[in-house]
């Protein structure tokens, strides 16, 4: 019934706008017979008067009267208000207990919420009043919302009591899972997350529960599908052979969700797919659902470029390279696209050749950021090819990793991979055209200044294929000015280039080592290690530095001359 006086309309408008009302006005509205006024007033009392003992004392009798009203909506809001007020806990507890047994689902929902609300300011009364047992009984309520609210209330109460939340036993797990299709999407997500607390006792029970999940694995609701897969994965952690069956079951639903082209949903589903590990066998034939579109927002392009290598196979990788290539010049996604090329190049030799031919053009563009990203990609391809062609032996004397001077995360990761895979494996032989553009790229002053550690890694890895490597290294000798990690990387690069081109590098190596020895910190330690390794034998030094000896090792006379040069300087 609508309010029939201007004064009442004004008071209700103030309630809706969130204005605090005098206690007398609150009592007046609550005493009216208008249902709308009662609802709004009870909400106002619960949300804005929960610490006002005067309001509690003046409205307690009215609320208790309304808790027995014939109208279920009036009973529900009255119970909700009673449970929020201080000083009347005993009356509120009786009202909540009666609400839990009410015939109306609306009132039972309010009773469950009231339990949690009453616990906030009167935990002792709730625990002594048997509310925990009543909430456990409410888990079998025919109304799904009552069940969900009961789980939420129990979880909050038991967690605060130090019991770790709801204890999910066999009966509760089977009961909740059997009714899961009755729940709303949001409730189902919470129940599925809760069920991860239960562990099936044997394989028979496990497969019985998994069969119940089959219908949910076909869900077209993204959040429900993700929650179901996570529960499935939790229960089958000791049965990895079931993973392929899981992927085959969710593939139609996941591809259907991606085909709807909702950017936010697609991003979340792709991010979830990265959690599943190896998925290329199932999703490889359906790679077109994962292709980057020019209209995709930047964040979705980046996410798709991360997922494409996961769905790549020898059959589709060349098509994926062709699809990714145009985005290497996209200002939003060029870095992710070039990194994606590096990952795709590891799938097959034809894909690697396509990627290398693409890098020829990227290394010659005017944009220095693109050139740096292309050098990172080239370095990852070279290291991956070396790892595939040679059996890597454990490294016993490799250098410790140091913080890099660059702020670029992708570059840092690439160089860390380079250090982790240091070995004497034969590097990939690059086409002459690619060698020329790499030389021009590392000669750029802007590239050397922005990514010095990356340039040093490229020079060390490709020294035998870059005739100008000693000259480039000499132009970067100005890095020997501080006790920085870049200075230490310069020492490493000098040692690697020396092993490939000893005649050209003899004097330069001596000068770099002499300067590093006088610089305390990482440069001195690195110089001592390189010097001692070269003193032992070129083969041991190559193994330690991850270099490859192309030309004949320096003679003893040359080595002695180099030693004398270092000592003199």
Q: What is the DSSP string of 292-331?
A: --TTS-HHHHHHHHHHGGGG--TTTHHHHHHHHGGGGG-T
Average pLDDT (55-79) is: 81
Fold held by 1-166: 1.25.10
Q: What is the pTM of this model?
A: 0.77
Residues 97 and 134 sit within 8 Å (Cβ to Cβ): yes
* Residue 549 predicted with pLDDT over 50: yes
Q: Give pLDDT, residue 425.
A: 46
| Alpha helices (H) in 122-262, listed in sequence order | 123-128, 131-138, 144-160, 170-178, 185-194, 203-217, 222-235, 243-259
Helical spans, DSSP H, in 260-297 = 263-273, 280-283
Per residue in 520-534, pLDDT tens? 888 888 888 888 878
**In this predicted structure, what is the pLDDT of residue 339?**
94
Surface-to-core class of residue 264, CB atoms within 10 Å of its CB (0-12 exposed, 13-18 middle, 19+ buried): exposed
CA distances from 510 to 236, 472, 513 (A): 60, 16, 5
DSSP secondary structure string for all residues of 122-137: -HHHHHHTTHHHHHHH
- 220-247 mean pLDDT: 92
* 560 or 13, higher pLDDT: 13
Predicted local confidence at residue 564, as pLDDT: 47
Mean pLDDT of the chain: 82
Q: What residue has token string 């952690």? A: 237
pLDDT surpassing 80 at residue 328: yes
Per-residue pLDDT, 481 = 66
CB neighbour class for 215 (10 Å; exposed up to 12, middle 13-18, buried from 19): exposed
In this structure, of 241-250, 295-304, 454-463, 550-559, the range with the lowest mean pLDDT score is: 550-559
Residue in the structure block whose two tokens are 């610490």:
51
> What is the pLDDT averaged over residues 35-45?
74
The number of angstroms, rounded, from the C-alpha of 230 to the middle of its chain's C-alpha atoms is: 15
> If you search the block for the tokens 């050209």, which residue do you land on?
504
The pair of structure tokens assigned to 216 is 């949910």
CA–CA gap between residue 509 and residue 453 (Å, rounded): 17
Written as one string, the DSSP assignment of 349-362 is HHHHHHHHHHHHHH
Q: Taking a C-beta distance cutoff of 8 angstroms, is the pair 224, 188 a contact?
A: yes
Instruction: Give the confidence band of 288 by pLDDT, cuts at 50, 70, 90.
Output: very high
Cα distance between residue 63 and residue 58, in whole Å: 10
Largest Cα–Cα distance in the chain?
Answer: 111
Positive or negative, the Cα torsion across 57, 59, 65, 68? negative
Report pLDDT digits (tens) over 73-86. 888 888 888 888 87
436: CB partners within 8 A, 6+ apart: none
Q: What is the pLDDT of residues 147-179, one digit of tens each?
A: 999 999 999 899 888 888 888 899 999 999 999
| Residue of 337, 330, 352 whose CA lies nearest to 307 | 337
Q: Give the model confidence (pLDDT) of 386-417 as tens digits.
A: 777 664 444 433 433 333 333 444 444 444 44
Mean pLDDT is lowest, of 101-105, 364-368, 374-378, 393-397, for: 393-397
Per-residue pLDDT band for 289 (boundaries 50, 70, 90) equals: very high
């Amino acid at each position: 019934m609508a309010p029939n006086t201007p004064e009442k309309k004004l008071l209700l408008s103030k309630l809706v706008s969130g204005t605090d009302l005098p206690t007398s006005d609150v009592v007046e509205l609550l005493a009216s017979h208008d249902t709308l006024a009662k609802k709004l007033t009870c909400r106002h009392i619960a949300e804005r008067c929960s610490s006002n003992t005067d309001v509690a004392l003046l409205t307690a009798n009215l609320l208790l009267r309304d808790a027995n009203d014939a109208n279920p909506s009036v009973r529900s809001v009255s119970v909700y208000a009673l449970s929020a007020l201080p000083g009347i806990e005993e009356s509120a507890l009786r009202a909540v207990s009666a609400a839990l047994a009410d015939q109306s689902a609306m009132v039972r929902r309010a009773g469950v919420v009231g339990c949690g609300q009453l616990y906030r300011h009167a935990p002792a009364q709730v625990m002594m009043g048997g509310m925990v047992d009543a909430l456990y009984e409410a888990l079998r309520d025919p109304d799904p919302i009552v069940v969900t609210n009961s789980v939420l209330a129990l979880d909050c109460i038991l967690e605060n009591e130090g019991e770790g939340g709801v204890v999910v036993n066999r009966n509760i797990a089977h009961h909740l899972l059997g009714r899961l299709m009755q729940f709303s999407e949001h409730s189902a997500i919470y129940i599925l997350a809760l069920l991860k607390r239960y562990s099936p006792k044997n394989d028979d029970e496990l497969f019985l529960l998994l069969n119940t999940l089959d219908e949910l694995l076909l869900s077209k609701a993204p959040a429900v599908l993700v929650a179901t897969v996570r529960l499935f994965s939790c229960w089958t952690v000791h049965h990895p052979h079931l993973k392929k069956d899981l992927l085959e079951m969710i593939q139609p639903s996941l591809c259907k969700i991606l085909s709807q082209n909702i950017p936010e949903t697609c991003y979340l589903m792709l991010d979830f797919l990265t959690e599943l590990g190896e998925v290329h066998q199932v999703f490889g034939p359906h790679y077109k659902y994962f292709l980057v579109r020019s209209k995709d927002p930047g964040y979705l392009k980046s996410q798709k470029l991360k997922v494409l290598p996961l769905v790549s196979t020898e059959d589709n990788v060349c098509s994926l390279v062709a699809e990714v290539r145009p985005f290497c010049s996209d200002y939003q996604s060029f870095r992710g696209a070039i990194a994606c090329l590096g990952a795709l190049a590891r799938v097959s030799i034809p894909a690697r050749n396509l990627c290398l031919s693409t890098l020829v053009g990227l290394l010659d563009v005017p944009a220095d950021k693109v050139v740096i990203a292309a050098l990172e990609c080239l370095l990852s391809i070279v290291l991956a090819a070396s790892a595939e062609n040679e059996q890597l032996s454990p490294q016993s004397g490799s250098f410790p990793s140091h913080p890099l001077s660059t702020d670029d995360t992708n570059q840092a990761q690439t160089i860390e991979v380079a250090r982790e895979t240091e070995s004497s494996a034969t590097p990939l032989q690059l086409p002459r055209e690619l060698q020329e553009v790499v030389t021009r790229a590392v000669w750029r002053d802007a590239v050397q200044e922005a990514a010095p550690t990356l340039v040093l890694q490229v020079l060390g890895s490709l020294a035998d294929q870059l005739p100008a490597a000693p000259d480039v290294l000499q132009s970067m000798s100005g890095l020997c000015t501080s006790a920085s990690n870049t200075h230490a990387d310069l020492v490493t690069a000098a040692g690697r280039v020396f092993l490939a081109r000893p005649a050209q590098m003899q004097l330069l190596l001596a000068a770099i080592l002499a300067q590093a020895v006088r610089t305390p910190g990482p440069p001195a330690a690195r110089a001592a290690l390189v010097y001692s390794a070269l003193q032992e034998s070129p083969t041991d030094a190559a193994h330690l530095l991850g270099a490859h000896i192309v030309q004949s090792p320096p003679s003893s006379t040359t080595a002695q001359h180099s030693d004398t040069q270092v000592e003199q300087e």
